[in-house]
Chains A and B, each alone.
Chain A
Amino acid sequence: MSVLTFLKPRGSGSVARERLQLILAHERVENGRPDLIITLREEILNVIAKHVTVERDKVQIKLERGEGVSTLGVDIEFPVDAVLKPKAKAKRAIA
């Protein structure tokens, strides 16, 4: 937080408005659709399972919602003897 924001205090009401606008923009798209995250997770896992064996509990999925763009981070831990030998971990972000 900079000195400028400290000197220019604003009510918490405008923070509430901005947070609501952001979250509702996302929720309106998601509601009425099957759970996007679960669908994506299943499809991504199916693609990977074609090539390597993946343990379900070694998969981490993170979602960050931003103003113009959201990122979905899928973190999959491959077993040591997996086909892709040089890397034990593969990281991929889908916008």
Chain B
Amino acid sequence: MAKVLCVTSGKGGVGKTTTTAALGAALAQAGEKVCVVDFDVGLRNLDLIMGAERRVVYDLINVTNGDAKLPQALIRDKRLENLSLLPASQTRDKDALTDEGVERVMGELRERFDWIVCDSPAGIERGAQLAMRHADVAVVVTNPEVSSVRDSDRIIGLLDSKTVRAERGDTIEKHLILTRFDPARADRGDMLKVDDVLEILSIPLLAIIPESLEVLRASNVGCPVTLNNPLCAPSRAYIDAVRRLKGETVPMAIPSDRKSLINKLFTRRAA
């Protein structure tokens, strides 16, 4: 049974697109058939993060409007054959998305894939609501910072009221991914603690992604971080998140690149 996962946050710039690409690639590496869908119409970026920006011919709007068939718009990843991208349109705006069109495309995607990972635009308007509308699972991406937590709280409220599942009276599975976490700042008391954020938002924690240069490096070269460097701290956190999404019980840890003894030994030996 296909699962639709929406990556959302309310606030912009917290790591939704990075998370969509990282989770999508890690799910594909775990053997699942995955499609990542960019819902950020007008400001598409998932194509760039996935390294497929020069291969976009048709987009989500073309498919929802019936100007192209879904298989024509899907871009198959060059590194993983069971990973596809459905890009957003760069020239249209979010009003070009119709409720019926999105519903039909999500239905078609469910027939072809095991996981459909939707990258939501920032905000709480129509675009964000359409991205979450058909979700079975939601991943709320939050930075340990006041404005991000406040916006996430708002998004959680929308997930519980504006999704198809919520309207049917079903529950929608919600998870928190805390990104750009800096353990040193948390130790000094100058950052919201993980427990603070969990207590305030009261949804289960899926992963803590440490602040890392590796995320920037991966976006520079157009490769999901989990493929670009699967051993780095953020990748290990995302890979654990995927195992949890698939139902495994994995102990929660904040991966670090600095303290890992195994990593140090490994690099020394390799040098």
Counting CB contacts under 8 A, is A27 at the interface? yes
Counting CB contacts under 8 A, is A38 at the interface? no
Chain B 192-217 interface mask (CB, 8 Å, partner A; 1/0): 11001000100000000000000000
Chain B 151-186 interface mask (CB, 8 Å, partner A; 1/0): 001100100010000000000000000000000001
Chain A-chain B contacts (Cβ-Cβ < 8 Å), number: 45
Given A17-B196, A28-B157, A11 and B188 contact (CB-CB distance below 8 Å): yes
Instruction: Please measure, in the bound complex, the distance between the C-alpha atom of A28 and the C-alpha atom of B154, giving whole angstroms.
Output: 8
Instruction: Please measure, in the bound complex, the distance between the C-alpha atom of A24 and the C-alpha atom of B148, giving whole angstroms.
Output: 12
Counting CB contacts under 8 A, is B251 at the interface? no
Query: In the complex, are the beta carbons of A32 and B161 less than 8 A apart?
Result: yes
Smallest Cβ-Cβ distance to A11: which chain B residue:
B189
Query: In the complex, are the beta carbons of B157 and A24 less than 8 A apart?
Result: no
Query: A13 contacts which of B150, B153, B192 (Cβ < 8 Å)?
Result: B192
Counting CB contacts under 8 A, is A3 at the interface? no
Smallest Cβ-Cβ distance to B191: which chain A residue:
A13
- Number of residues from A at the complex interface, CB < 8 A: 16
Given A16-B192, A31-B157, A24 and B186 contact (CB-CB distance below 8 Å): no
Query: In the complex, are the beta carbons of B146 and A20 less than 8 A apart?
Result: yes
Instruction: Please measure, in the bound complex, the distance between the C-alpha atom of A86 and the C-alpha atom of B156, giving whole angstroms.
Output: 52
Counting CB contacts under 8 A, is B149 at the interface? yes
Counting CB contacts under 8 A, is B248 at the interface? no
Counting CB contacts under 8 A, is B190 at the interface? yes
Point out the residues of chain A lying under 8 angstroms from B145, CB to CB: 16
Known: A19-B146, A24-B200. 10 other contacts (CB 8 A): A10-B189, A12-B189, A16-B145, A17-B192, A17-B193, A17-B196, A20-B192, A23-B150, A27-B150, A31-B157
25 interchain pairs (CB within 8 A)? Answer: A11-B188, A11-B190, A11-B191, A12-B190, A13-B186, A13-B191, A13-B196, A14-B189, A16-B191, A16-B192, A16-B196, A17-B192, A17-B193, A17-B196, A20-B150, A20-B196, A20-B200, A21-B200, A23-B150, A24-B150, A24-B153, A24-B200, A27-B150, A28-B157, A31-B157
